[in-house]
Amino acid sequence: MPTRYEYGGDEFIFVQFSEEMSLESNFKGMAITRKLKEKQLEGILDICPSNASYMVRYNPDVLDSEELMDVLQEIEKTTNRLDDVTIASRLVDVPVLFEDPWTHEALMRFRDRHQDPEATDLEYSAKINGYASTEKFIEAITGAPFLVSMIGFVPGLPWCFQMVSREKQIEVPKYVRPRTYTPERAFGFGGAFAVIYPVQGAGGYQLYGIAPAPIYQKEQTLPDFQDSMVFPRQGDIFRYRSITREEYEDIRRQVEDGTFVYRKKDFSFTPGDVLADPEAFSENVMRRLYHD
């Protein structure tokens, strides 16, 4: 679809690249919003990137709406070649305890709201994606990294899109009706997106496990949260790693005594690196994160 530009009242411009999420559209939006931020235009109040779109809030008394529209369209013209775009990112190891007792208890309370009340969320998701077992399904999740495509829904929640070829994308529906309870740090999947719920609350994504470390910390006591109470950043590359109950408890102790630090490395890449050969890119990410 051609890029859609729309005004939202007197203070917003909404820009949409496609009807569905794709790595190409997300990379394009990421590149454009970063270039817009670098311009530091007087009158821009907020830049909100999303999965396949973005929105800008501006002060119409300072910045003319048509002038801003011209700037956005000109930035898009200069960003058509994604091979020329370099994205500064972080590689992050994100431990997850799959099939944990806490999310299992939560999902079992709401089987009447699920597509398959006789199966767990993992069993159902593995079946509809063509995997012979939940173990093989977990291997598919942990076998390739995810791009943090946006932050939202609730403060700090990372929407993560797996960096694999389109035919390998995992997709699952949300619950028929949402749960009224989801544990803090629950790891789930909805549509083509993996998420970690930053706080306890409602939710409709399929639940697979729980992360021992927070991705949102209001108190900002841990080293990774000194600059922001939200850890994920758009453009981060998360590798979800399956862990044992013993490692889970060890990380929880580190979180509680204030010493936990995510394993992470600064990393730059171009969208072309990903789109040309997702498997090779994934291997490079794993090597850089764990061995270099």
Q: What percent of the chain has a predicted confidence (pLDDT) above 90?
A: 83
Phi then psi for residue 181, to 5 deg, are: -145, 130
pTM of the model: 0.90
Beta bridge partners of 193: 161, 190
Instruction: Please list, in sequence order, all residues whose beta carbon lies within 8 angstroms of the beta carbon of residue 245, skipping any fewer than 6 positions away.
Output: 97, 100
Which structural domains are found in the chain, ordered by start? Answer: 4-80 (3.30.1360.40), 88-290 (2.40.100.10)
**Residue-wise pLDDT tens digits, 213-260:** 999 999 999 999 999 999 999 999 999 999 999 999 999 999 999 999
**Residue-wise pLDDT tens digits, 90-100:** 999 999 999 99
The reported pLDDT for the residue numbered 260 is: 98
Q: Is 219 exposed, middle or buried (0-12, 13-18, 19+ CB in 10 A)?
A: exposed
The reported pLDDT for the residue numbered 272 is: 86
Q: Which of 24-33, 101-110, 117-126, 202-211 shows the lowest per-residue confidence on average (mean pLDDT)?
A: 24-33
**Rounded Cα distance, 233 and 236, in Å:** 6
The yes-or-no verdict on residue 140 having pLDDT over 80 is: yes
The reported pLDDT for the residue numbered 23 is: 87
Nearest of 236, 60, 243 to residue 147 by alpha carbon: 236
Give the pLDDT mean for 278-288: 93
**Rounded Cα distance, 1 and 4, in Å:** 8
CA 53 and chain centroid, separation: 15
The reported pLDDT for the residue numbered 150 is: 92
The reported pLDDT for the residue numbered 155 is: 81
Q: What percent of the chain has a predicted confidence (pLDDT) above 70?
A: 100
Give the pLDDT mean for 36-48: 94
**Residue-wise pLDDT tens digits, 80-130:** 777 778 888 999 999 999 999 999 999 999 999 999 999 999 999 999 999
Beta bridge partners of 237: 91, 147
The reported pLDDT for the residue numbered 245 is: 98
